[in-house]
């Protein structure tokens, strides 16, 4: 019942944007936004929202799934018996829609041209970020799912440190993490798991390779779980064997930057200012040019979604946002260190959702 009420609120907020964007209805084609508004997780679907009605359009392959996933008292389920363009045309004409908002960011040129050709009496209006902006602030039920996804990731880290040893290959580490997370209830990993060791740890997005772990290697592991449609994201860096003095020093710098940024999270704080908290610390140690990415990003249905926690961001933090804090130092030919946690922004202060130890583990 709570989820159904949330769908009604979400749809209502989209409709409130119609006048601002000078549209009478909106066609949603991005699967992530369709899931957000309806709960439908199939790979072939469309949502048409008018001022009064909501249609979920799919084909016979997903009919039973849609009946189970979507709130049928809110959505009229339309099962295609013709081409999607023809069905959209019929609905638009029956609803007498003259100005239709479309998500051009997620639409192929061919599909846009087909719409434009067939909806000759309807003006197509490109609308950007209406739903994405709503998704930035999570409601209570979304936060419950994100917390569960974070818990699964934490359990996976606790498990994988027992698996790591010299001779194990990076892709075996990644496979073991994903297998464990699925056994704990994840539907899949949030993204291709990063397991980068030795010199490869200097690659911020060094997806797992056939490289074997060696004594003295730094190992950066970045991974997350998807639980009931919502993601988690965590990074931990460990040392295979005994850590060198330089590895300890670099790790301590990144950890200091990460902890200071976590402590600084507050309602109304500009994301750009939060980025600078960690960046200034790393720069003060002379490694500013070795931290080349943003401090973090939003997490929700997608593992990377607004807001960007970057020096160029214009967004201020609000209660209900879930963001990552993930500073790093990457030195070509040497390796790298990144430490990442997920944080829920609340009026009472930051709530860290990933709780795995950040002590430098020597495995």
Say if residue 96 is in the same domain as residue 164: no
Can you tell me the mean pLDDT for 1-16? 82
Q: What is the DSSP letter of 359?
A: S
Say if residue 104 is in the same domain as residue 155: no
Look up the CATH number of the domain holding residue 156: 3.90.230.10
pLDDT in the model for residue 6? 87
> Could you report the per-residue pLDDT of 150-178, keeping only the tens digit for each?
999 999 999 999 999 999 999 999 999 99
The pLDDT > 70 percentage for the chain reads 99
Residue range(s) defining the domain that contains residue 149 = 140-352
Quick check: helix, strand or coil at residue 331? strand
Structural domain contains residue 248: yes
pLDDT in the model for residue 3? 59
pLDDT of 263 over the 80 cut: yes
Closest by CA position to 201, among listed 211, 191, 192: 211
Distances (CA, A) of 53 to 5, 64, 76, 148: 16, 21, 8, 33
Mean pLDDT of the chain: 96
3-state secondary structure 150-176: HHHHHHHHHHHCCCCCCCCEHHHHHHH
CA distance 156 to 162: 10
> Could you report the per-residue pLDDT of 299-315, keeping only the tens digit for each?
999 999 999 999 999 99
Look up the CATH number of the domain holding residue 79: 3.40.350.10
> Could you report the per-residue pLDDT of 196-246, keeping only the tens digit for each?
999 999 999 999 999 999 999 999 999 999 999 999 999 999 999 999 999
pLDDT in the model for residue 338? 98
Contacts (Cβ under 8 Å, ≥6 apart) of 135: 33, 36, 300, 301, 305, 306
At 324, is the pLDDT very low, low, confident or very high (cuts 50, 70, 90)? very high
Say if residue 131 is in the same domain as residue 166: no
Which residue do the tokens 């160029």 mark?
312
Helix (H) or strand (E) holding 11: helix 2-16
At 5, is the pLDDT very low, low, confident or very high (cuts 50, 70, 90)? low
Structural domain contains residue 358: no
Say if residue 280 is in the same domain as residue 158: yes
> Could you report the per-residue pLDDT of 37-63, keeping only the tens digit for each?
999 999 999 999 999 999 999 999 999
Say if residue 93 is in the same domain as residue 113: yes
Structural domain contains residue 332: yes
Say if residue 321 is in the same domain as residue 176: yes
At 1, is the pLDDT very low, low, confident or very high (cuts 50, 70, 90)? very low
CA distance 260 to 268: 17
Structural domain contains residue 312: yes
CA distance 1 to 100: 31
Say if CB 6 and CB 38 are below 8 A apart: no
Q: Classify residue 321 as exposed, middle or buried by CB count within 10 Å of its CB (0-12, 13-18, 19+).
A: buried
């Amino acid at each position: 019942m709570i989820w159904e009420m949330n769908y009604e609120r979400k749809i209502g907020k989209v409709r409130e944007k119609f006048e601002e964007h000078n549209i009478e209805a909106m066609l949603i084609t991005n699967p992530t936004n369709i899931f957000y508004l309806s709960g439908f997780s199939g790979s072939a679907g469309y949502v048409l929202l008018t001022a009064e009605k909501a249609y979920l359009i799919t084909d016979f392959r997903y009919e039973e799934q849609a009946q189970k996933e979507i709130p049928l008292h809110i959505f009229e389920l339309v099962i295609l018996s013709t081409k999607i363009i023809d069905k959209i045309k019929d609905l638009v004409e029956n609803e007498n829609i003259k100005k239709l908002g479309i998500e051009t960011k997620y639409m192929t040129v061919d599909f846009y041209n087909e719409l434009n050709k067939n909806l000759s009496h309807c003006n197509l209006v490109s609308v950007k970020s209406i739903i994405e902006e709503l998704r930035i602030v999570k409601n209570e039920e979304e936060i419950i799912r994100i917390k569960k996804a974070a818990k699964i990731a934490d359990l996976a880290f606790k498990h994988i440190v027992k698996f790591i040893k010299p001779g194990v290959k990076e892709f075996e580490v990644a496979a073991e993490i994903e297998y464990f997370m699925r056994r704990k209830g994840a539907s899949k990993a949030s993204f291709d798991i990063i397991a980068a060791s030795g010199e490869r740890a200097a690659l911020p997005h060094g997806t797992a390779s056939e490289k074997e772990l060696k004594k003295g290697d730094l190992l950066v592991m970045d991974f997350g779980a998807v639980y009931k449609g919502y993601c988690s994201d965590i990074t931990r860096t460990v040392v295979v064997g005994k850590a060198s003095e330089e590895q300890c020093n670099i790790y301590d710098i990144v950890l200091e930057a990460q902890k200071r940024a976590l402590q600084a999270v507050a309602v109304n704080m500009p994301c750009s200012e939060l980025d600078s908290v960690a960046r200034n610390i790393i720069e003060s140690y002379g490694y500013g040019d070795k931290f080349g990415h943003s401090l973090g990003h939003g997490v929700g249905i997608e593992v990377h979604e607004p807001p960007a926690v970057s020096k160029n961001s214009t967004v201020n933090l609000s209660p209900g946002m879930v963001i990552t804090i993930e500073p790093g130092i990457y030195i070509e030919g040497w390796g790298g260190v990144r430490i990442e946690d997920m944080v829920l922004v609340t009026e009472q202060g930051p709530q860290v959702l990933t709780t795995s130890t950040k002590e430098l583990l020597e495995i």
